[in-house]
């Protein structure tokens, strides 16, 4: 995956998102979930069921729909708070409200931590002020705990060993942090070219990052305290937003994208793409209910 043109793309369906985000592969159902944040929609795709796609309405500014320890009950992160969604019965149950100290923000990045808790970020909806933060929520502690503040657009969230890696998109930086009793402590920062958005991690520590506005994915190798750029792949969309591994061997790379802000979107902008790779991801974590 050095400087390669992505010629082995498959375009998933005909839907074009205003702001496609947070792709998640469910191994138990063999399906891909992702959201369109600005259109308040959840999309779900079953490649082995005649490529069936279902679209469901979601609350305003839903930035993620994540797996839980209960099959087909998903954790929904939206501006109105965190809720549980029974997919089969289309029923929503409140889990916790939006953080009291996050007024005027919307959710952005979300991921399940190794301990089964939810971590999510907030940001200024207009991305003009650095009022974003990271929060943590668990089944045993359902009140959001603020971990770190004064962020612009918090993106990417992965764990390696005792390190937590994240990005602040408009500061053009990745950060390596450690978890402390009272929150996150930034240990080191890594300036990068372009605007880093969402990422996925391979089993051997390769971070694959969607480069917003640059029509590419960039690959970094994470080694303990180091982050080294090792290559990139060109995409036929202007604004890739995130990516995840899926498929039976977790070697299919699914990539979300966005049309928002483009004066003349191309035909594929906002599409979900799939690339068959020689890499392999790890199963998506589940929120422990």
Residue 81: how many other CB atoms lie within 10 Å: 17
- Check the annotation: does 21 bind a ligand: yes
Quote the CA–CA distance of 76 and 92 in Å, as a whole number. 9
- Check the annotation: does 89 bind a ligand: no
Buried b (16+ CB within 10 A) or exposed e, 102-131: beebbbbbbbbbeebbbbbbbbbeeeeeeb
Q: Which long-range contacts (CB under 8 A, 24 or more apart) does 158-164 make?
A: 158/111, 158/199, 158/200, 158/201, 158/207, 158/222, 159/113, 159/114, 160/201, 160/205, 160/222, 161/224, 163/187, 163/222, 163/224, 163/225
SS3 61: coil
- Check the annotation: does 106 bind a ligand: yes
Length of the chain counted residue by residue:
289
Catalytic residue, candidates 36, 168, 197, 252: 197
Alpha carbon of 23 to those of 89, 110, 274: distances in Å?
Answer: 22, 11, 11
- Check the annotation: does 150 bind a ligand: no
> Is 260 marked active-site?
no
- Check the annotation: does 115 bind a ligand: no
Annotated binding site: 21, 106, 108, 155, 197
Annotated binding site for substrate: 106, 108
Q: Would you please indicate which residues are annotated as catalytic (active-site) residues? A: 197
């Amino acid at each position: 995956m050095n400087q390669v043109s992505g010629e082995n793309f498959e375009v998933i369906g005909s839907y074009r998102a205003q702001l496609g985000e947070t792709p998640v592969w469910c191994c138990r159902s063999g399906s891909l979930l992702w959201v369109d944040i600005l259109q308040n929609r959840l999309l779900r795709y079953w490649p082995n069921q005649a490529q069936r796609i279902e679209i469901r309405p979601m609350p305003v500014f839903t930035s993620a729909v994540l797996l839980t320890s209960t099959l087909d009950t998903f954790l929904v992160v939206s501006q109105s708070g965190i809720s549980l969604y029974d997919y089969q019965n289309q029923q929503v149950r409140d889990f916790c409200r939006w953080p009291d100290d996050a007024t005027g923000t919307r959710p952005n990045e979300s991921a399940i931590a190794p301990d089964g808790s939810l971590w999510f970020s907030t940001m200024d909806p207009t991305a003009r002020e650095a009022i974003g933060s990271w929060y943590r929520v668990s089944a045993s502690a359902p009140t959001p705990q603020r971990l770190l503040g004064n962020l612009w657009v918090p993106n990417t969230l992965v764990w390696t060993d005792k390190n937590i890696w994240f990005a602040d998109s408009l500061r053009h930086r990745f950060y390596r942090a450690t978890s402390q009793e009272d929150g996150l402590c930034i240990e080191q920062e890594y300036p990068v070219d372009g605007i880093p958005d969402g990422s996925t991690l391979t089993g051997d520590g390769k971070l694959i990052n969607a480069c917003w506005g640059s029509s590419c994915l960039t690959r970094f190798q994470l080694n303990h305290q180091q982050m080294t750029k090792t290559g990139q792949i060109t995409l036929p969309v202007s604004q890739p937003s995130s990516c995840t591994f899926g498929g039976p061997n977790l070697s299919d790379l699914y990539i979300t994208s966005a049309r928002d802000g483009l004066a003349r979107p191309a035909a594929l902008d906002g599409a979900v793409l799939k690339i068959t790779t020689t890499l392999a991801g790890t199963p998506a974590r589940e929120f422990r209910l």
